[in-house]
């Protein structure tokens, strides 16, 4: 499976493509950061990011797009810009029929480092090791994008199994309730 990880941001938007292999094997295909100037109009900034994401989707053909979920930030303006970029990326991917998965920063950190409270430098160091990169991806947005892709590759099978188990559990519960109702009707008719 090939995943495009996106660390959304208006000033710096990290993009990373990672291929997943057997088990937990992962390899880096591409990584970069889209930069836009705060001096630009918001719509122009969003369009600039969208144009690059479109090119990446056409060039690298990922199976899934993993985007960092905006959890909460003290700076509302930054959170809004991050959410807007994430929305643009999700829309572009959805128009291409791609699955879009959102992961929280703590999920990503836990997947890559083992701790949901890991710092940016820990994440960068671990993603460099996991992908056997010759140098640390810089800035941190690039490392975060790669981490999002790896997180999705490692979490997706478990998430799919849980969803399948939930569906099966609900099916069994409905069947059990139907049997109980039928038994209650039979008991009532026998009286």
Active-site residue flag, 7: yes
Cβ partners under 8 Å of residue 109, min gap 6: 115, 116, 117, 118, 122, 123, 147
The yes-or-no answer on residue 39 being catalytic is no
Which residue out of 141, 144, 168, 170 is catalytically annotated?
141
Q: What distance in Å separates the CA atoms of residue 101 and residue 149, rounded to the nearest whole number?
A: 10
Please answer whether residues 137 and 124 qualify as being in contact, where contact means their C-beta atoms are separated by less than 8 angstroms.
Answer: yes
32 has catalytic annotation: no
39, 41, 54, 68: the active-site residue: 68
Q: How far apart are the first and last CA of the chain?
A: 60
Tell me how far apart the alpha carbons of residues 125 and 157 are, in angstroms, rounded to a whole number. 25
Residues belonging to the active site: 7, 68, 141
């Amino acid at each position: 499976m090939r995943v495009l990880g996106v660390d959304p941001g208006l000033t710096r938007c990290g993009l990373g493509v990672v291929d997943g292999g057997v088990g937990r094997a992962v390899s880096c295909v591409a990584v970069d950061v889209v930069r836009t100037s705060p001096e630009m109009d918001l719509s122009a900034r969003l369009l600039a990011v969208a144009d690059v994401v479109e090119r990446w989707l056409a060039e690298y053909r990922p199976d899934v797009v993993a985007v960092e979920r905006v959890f909460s930030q003290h700076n509302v303006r930054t959170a809004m810009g991050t959410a807007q970029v994430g929305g643009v990326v999700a829309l572009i991917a959805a128009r291409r029929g791609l699955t879009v998965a959102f992961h929280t920063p703590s999920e990503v950190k836990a997947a890559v480092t083992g701790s949901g409270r890991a710092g940016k430098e820990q994440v960068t160091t671990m993603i460099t090791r996991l992908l056997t990169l010759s140098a640390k991806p810089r800035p941190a947005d690039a490392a975060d994008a790669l981490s999002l892709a790896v997180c999705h590759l490692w979490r997706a099978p478990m998430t799919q199994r849980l969803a399948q188990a939930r569906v099966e559990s609900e099916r069994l519960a409905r069947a059990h309730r139907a049997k109980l109702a039928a038994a209650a009707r039979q008991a009532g008719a026998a009286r």
